[in-house]
Chain A
Amino acid sequence: MITIKKPGLLTSIQDLGRYGYQKYGIIVSGAMDSFSHRIASLLVGNEENAPTLEITLLGPVLEFHEDTLISLCGGDLTPLINGKPISMWRTIYVKKGSELRFGKPKEGCRVYLAVAGGFSVPTVMGSKSTYISAGIGGFKGRALVAGDQVSVCNQSLLSSKIMLQMKKQAEDESFAEMEWSVASNFIPMFKKEQTIRVMRGRQFSLFTYKSQKDIFSKTFEVTTHSDRMGYRLKGETLSLEHPTEMLSEAVSFGTIQVPSDGNPIILLADRQTTGGYPKIGQVAAVDLSLLAQAKPGDMIRFSEITDEEAQLLLIHRERKLQELKKGILLKLVREE
């Protein structure tokens, strides 16, 4: 079990999302940076979809009530166990009674805490993700608050054997780190200026010639009106050649829509299922992780890519992830 001593800015339980219910207006939710979430889960021997804690910018203070195998992947928010810095993208043993807190955010915006076995929360409509506005899923349908006690499911035999090994290695220390971590070529660089690949949106050709140029050449700032639902950007305003009323239609993770004020909004994990604003672009799935790690004040540029290219990149990334999954499993088996 884990006790939340301080909740941080926004800490919620997320998995890979709630699918199959968008036709009823039920949003997908899930990890904003699903890539980091998946790797965090793999490092503790969980399924990729096991729920993690999504921690935002200013991290919480947590206490572990049992010996626990954890990993932290995503933005570097300076994780500390009992005041000592610990590594990211690595399997870590944490001794019972230890405290995890976070220092100054260094890089990125969100970090995923995975625990071996996964957090024990009920499955609602096929997912454990927190859907805050409807008050369902995750821990009591809400973000975590001080005093919450979150249970952890029984870990796999493999995870518990590894934990015993690492416990010996820790001796009197409050934690021990695995000697290997995820290869550096898998670890994304979360920069304050990021180039994101974008496909043309369905209404791209309805925008003015200038807007069609600007979207792929100007820099946009992530504003403070940005959250899990979407990022509102500031920069060159974009406009349609002939303003038209559109009927609401489906949107997806990474859809860039432009309301009448001309400031683009990128829709993210907690987006509504449908939207009625014209779509100028669609962020490539492989770059959603970089985007989800952008924080207010960060700058974004868009570079154009075709649907086919974006799909090839996705296929390539998924194959690499499968290799990584096998690699991690092999290494974990060798450790036991």
Chain B
Amino acid sequence: MKYSLHPLGEMAVMIELGNELNLEIQQKVLAISSYLEDNPLEWMVEYIPAFSTVTIFYNPMIIINHLNIDTPIQYVCQQLHQILSHITINQHTEPRVVEIPVCYGEEFGPDLETVASMNGLTTEDVISIHSSAEYTVYMIGFAPGFPYLGGMSEKIAAPRLPSPRLKIPERTVGIAGKQTGVYPIATPGGWQLIGRTPIKLFRPNDKVPSLLNAGDKVRFKPISYEEYVEWEGKEG
């Protein structure tokens, strides 16, 4: 595996696996993440996987006090070199496919018509294009449980609003440029809003507080307003 190590201050080291967004690099990020989940390191506080990097946060005092080593940076880099030489990429793991029901348009998607007219489409076209693709969760970030999704058709691309809305309700589905995403919590934002899901993406009371994980595949399924209300009731 090709990589380089970069200290991020005195308590973190970043593993860089490339500088572009592609599935091969993502496989490496996922392989390192799953190794770290299965083999927690005594001195590791946590790790953050991103598009093409995995950053390991560590506690230098544990290395000093428990392992009697006085140069934690060098120690962590050495250990990471060793670990990375063992990790192999398992191409055969089937990704999990998560279906996200979406009630498109009306009050939930005030920008659906704008997105349609910008692209010379009907609103039905936009819904059909948005819900027929399979998306890849590249990483979780920006907000709790927020997925960076790859795979949206450029036919429904739409620029961000010139001035962001002050509050977008949680679970709103939007489009910004060539990306689509779901806001897990209410936040300000400049995305074009096309619908809303009754499903919670941020689940603070669950052991894993995010519905989605990096590597998952996502499909959007159009539902009616009645189905939305019923589903939302079940979610509580």
Chain B residues, Cβ within 8 Å of A248: 50-51, 139, 141-142, 148
Chain B residues, Cβ within 8 Å of A318: 61
Known: A24-B145, A26-B144, A307-B7. 20 other contacts (CB 8 A): A23-B48, A23-B49, A24-B208, A25-B140, A25-B184, A26-B145, A247-B21, A247-B52, A248-B51, A250-B8, A250-B12, A252-B9, A252-B11, A272-B141, A273-B48, A274-B50, A282-B8, A285-B10, A308-B71, A314-B60
Chain A residues, Cβ within 8 Å of B11: 252, 285, 314
CA–CA, A134 to B183, complex, Å?
12
B210 contacts partner chain A, Cβ-Cβ < 8 Å? yes
Query: In the complex, which residue of chain A has the Cβ closest to the Cβ of B36?
Result: A23
User: Of B21, B57, B209, which contacts A125 at CB under 8 A?
Assistant: B209
Known: A250-B8, A250-B48, A310-B10. A25 touches B142 (CB 8 A): yes
Query: Are the C-beta atoms of A199 and B209 separated by less than 8 Å?
Result: no
Query: Are the C-beta atoms of B10 and A23 separated by less than 8 Å?
Result: no
Chain B positions near chain A (C-beta within 8 angstroms): 6-12, 14, 19-21, 33, 45-53, 55, 57, 60-61, 64, 70-73, 139-146, 148, 184-185, 187, 202, 204, 208-210
Q: Which of A14-22, A151-159, A223-231 lies at the interface with chain B?
A: A14-22
Mind listing 18 A-B residue pairs with CB under 8 Å? A19-B46, A20-B46, A25-B140, A25-B210, A125-B204, A247-B53, A249-B14, A249-B55, A254-B9, A274-B50, A274-B142, A284-B9, A285-B10, A307-B9, A311-B73, A314-B60, A315-B64, A318-B61
CA–CA, A74 to B12, complex, Å?
26
CA–CA, A274 to B143, complex, Å?
10
CA–CA, A299 to B71, complex, Å?
33
CA–CA, A23 to B139, complex, Å?
8
CA–CA, A314 to B73, complex, Å?
12
Chain B residues, Cβ within 8 Å of A21: 46, 209
Task: Give the Cβ gap from B210 to chain A, nearest Cβ, in Å.
Answer: 4
CA–CA, A134 to B143, complex, Å?
8
User: Of A26, A134, A252, A273, which contacts B12 at CB under 8 A?
Assistant: A252
Query: Are the C-beta atoms of A315 and B61 separated by less than 8 Å?
Result: yes
User: Of B45, B50, B144, B208, which contacts A134 at CB under 8 A?
Assistant: B144
CA–CA, A326 to B104, complex, Å?
61
Chain A residues, Cβ within 8 Å of B33: 23
A202 contacts partner chain B, Cβ-Cβ < 8 Å? yes
CA–CA, A134 to B142, complex, Å?
12
Chain A residues, Cβ within 8 Å of B52: 247, 249
CA–CA, A140 to B183, complex, Å?
22
User: Of A134, A249, A307, which contacts B73 at CB under 8 A?
Assistant: A307
CA–CA, A26 to B185, complex, Å?
11
CA–CA, A273 to B70, complex, Å?
29
User: Of A20, A24, A125, A272, which contacts B45 at CB under 8 A?
Assistant: A20
Main secondary structure of the interface of A (DSSP, over half): mixed
Chain A positions near chain B (C-beta within 8 angstroms): 19-27, 124-125, 133-136, 199, 202, 247-252, 254-255, 272-274, 282-285, 307-308, 310-311, 314-315, 318
CA–CA, A92 to B19, complex, Å?
54
Query: In the complex, which residue of chain A has the Cβ closest to the Cβ of B141?
Result: A274
Chain B residues, Cβ within 8 Å of A314: 10-11, 60
Task: Give the Cβ gap from A292 to chain B, nearest Cβ, in Å.
Answer: 16
Task: Give the Cβ gap from A322 to chain B, nearest Cβ, in Å.
Answer: 9
Chain B residues, Cβ within 8 Å of A307: 7, 9-10, 73
Task: Give the Cβ gap from A274 to chain B, nearest Cβ, in Å.
Answer: 4
Chain A residues, Cβ within 8 Å of B146: 25
CA–CA, A248 to B19, complex, Å?
10
Query: Are the C-beta atoms of B143 and A25 separated by less than 8 Å?
Result: yes
Chain A residues, Cβ within 8 Å of B72: 311, 315
Query: Are the C-beta atoms of B14 and A250 separated by less than 8 Å?
Result: yes
Chain A residues, Cβ within 8 Å of B71: 308, 311
Chain B residues, Cβ within 8 Å of A27: 144
Query: Are the C-beta atoms of B144 and A25 separated by less than 8 Å?
Result: yes
Query: Are the C-beta atoms of A282 and B9 separated by less than 8 Å?
Result: yes
The 4 closest A-B pairs by CB, nearest first: A250-B55, A311-B10, A24-B210, A250-B48
CA–CA, A82 to B117, complex, Å?
65
Query: In the complex, which residue of chain A has the Cβ closest to the Cβ of B48?
Result: A250
Task: Give the Cβ gap from A36 to chain B, nearest Cβ, in Å.
Answer: 19
Query: In the complex, which residue of chain B has the Cβ closest to the Cβ of A137?
Result: B204
CA–CA, A273 to B11, complex, Å?
15
Query: Are the C-beta atoms of A124 and B204 separated by less than 8 Å?
Result: yes
Query: In the complex, which residue of chain B has the Cβ closest to the Cβ of A307?
Result: B7
Task: Give the Cβ gap from A266 to chain B, nearest Cβ, in Å.
Answer: 12
CA–CA, A34 to B15, complex, Å?
27
CA–CA, A133 to B185, complex, Å?
8
CA–CA, A27 to B184, complex, Å?
14
Query: Are the C-beta atoms of A202 and B50 separated by less than 8 Å?
Result: no
User: Of A202, A311, A315, which contacts B6 at CB under 8 A?
Assistant: A202
Chain B residues, Cβ within 8 Å of A311: 10, 60, 71-73
Query: Counting chain A CB atoms within 10 Å of each CB, which of B6, B11, B52 scores highest?
Result: B11
Task: Give the Cβ gap from B198 to chain A, nearest Cβ, in Å.
Answer: 19
User: Of A124, A249, A252, A310, which contacts B50 at CB under 8 A?
Assistant: A249
Task: Give the Cβ gap from A179 to chain B, nearest Cβ, in Å.
Answer: 32
